[in-house]
Structure 1
Amino acid sequence: MTCDKVISRYLLAIFVVLCLALVVPAAAQETGKLTVQPGETIEVGAEPIILDLINLRKADTFNPVTELRLYRDDDPLKQLVQVIGVPNDDFFKINVYTLKGKYGRYFAYSKQDGLIHENSIVFVHASTPTATETVATATETPAETPVATTATATTQAPLPGLIAIAALGICGLLAAAQKR
Structure 2
Amino acid sequence: MDSTILFLPELILIASILAVPAIYIATNSTKSYSICSNISLAVSLLVVILFWYSPDSVSFDKSSSSYVIYDHFVINDFSQLFKVIFLLSALAVSIISSSYFKEDEPHQAEYYVLLLSSALGMLITASANDFLTIFVGIELSAFSSYGLVAFRKTDDKSTEAGAKYLLIGAFSSALTLYGISFFTL
Q: Give the TM bin, normalised by the shorter chain.
A: under 0.3
Structure showing the higher helix proportion among its residues: 2
- Rg comparison, structure with higher value: 1
TM-score with structure 2 setting the length: 0.23
What's the TM-score once normalised by structure 1's chain length? 0.23
